[in-house]
Amino acid sequence: MRTFALLCYNRSEGDIMKGKFVTFEGCEGVGKSTQLKQLKEYLDKTGQPAIFTREPGGNKISEQIRSVILNPENTEMNAMCEALLYAASRAQLVDEVIKPALDRGELVICDRFLDSSIAYQGGARGLGIENVLEINRHAIQGCMPDLTVFLDLSPEHSFRSRQKSAELHDRLEDEAMDFHLKVYEGYLEDAEMSEGRIVKIVPCRNKKDTTEKIIELLREKGIIR
């Protein structure tokens, strides 16, 4: 196991946050957006406040960076540039949204975070996990998730529904299947390293059943009621 990765990967005892931080991860087309929407509806209905945000994006500057990263015309972007742009977007989001909310004792739920960079740039782009962690060490300011929900569905399955969609695809979605298979492999390796922080949930055919699984998990972890 990588020494530097272990030092930087999970939150240390000194990184005390009053709130709770939950992230959602998965390959393209796996249904994260749908599950986050249904989770928000449940929390709103039951009177449980939470801040929902996303990566890349979540604030003015990070959304501008997002448009550069995902622009299908930017095909010449190299792996390091991509990783640094994600880290820049993340640094702004952490400083402006995530860390202040956690310091106030709030629940923050984020669509993608550092694990995406580990899987996409570290794994599929070949930069390596250590390099991605080094790039992001200052960006995350010690804000590692308490729990990461990984919607565990391989690209071969998730892309079936995605290809039927009329939605416009971004630069990463347009990558070849081989790239997305490497992303999936990166996530699986990431989950093994996480010491239980990343929990796999296999999406059900019925989306509401998947939501129930997620809600039950968050209850078990004492994050929601």
CB atoms within 10 A of CB 216: 12
Beta-bridge mates of residue 110: 23, 53
From the candidate CATH numbers 3.40.50.300, 3.40.47.10, 3.40.50.1950, 3.40.50.720, the one assigned to the domain spanning 3-8+18-220? 3.40.50.300
Burial of 95 (0-12, 13-18, 19+ CB in 10 A): middle
Beta bridge partners of 10: none
Q: How confident is the model at residue 52 (pLDDT cuts 50, 70, 90)?
A: very high
Instruction: Kindly give, in sequence order, each residue whose CB lies less than 8 Å from that of residue 87, ignoring residues fewer than 6 positions away.
Output: 117, 135, 136, 139
Reply yes or no on whether the pLDDT at 44 is more than 90: yes
Separation CA 105–CA 101 (nearest Å): 7
* 134's tokens: 């080094």
- Given this model, what pLDDT does residue 15 score? 58
pLDDT digits over 158-193, tens only?
876 555 554 568 999 999 999 999 999 999 999 999
* Most confident stretch, 15-19, 119-123, 162-166: 119-123
Chain centroid to Cα 204, Å, comes to: 20
Q: What is the pTM of this model?
A: 0.92
| Secondary structure letter of residue 160 according to DSSP | H
Q: What's the CA gap between 20 and 151, in Å, rounded?
A: 20
Task: List, in order, residues 6 or more apart from 199 with CB less than 8 Å away.
Answer: 147, 148, 149, 150, 217
Domain ranges of the chain: 3-8+18-220
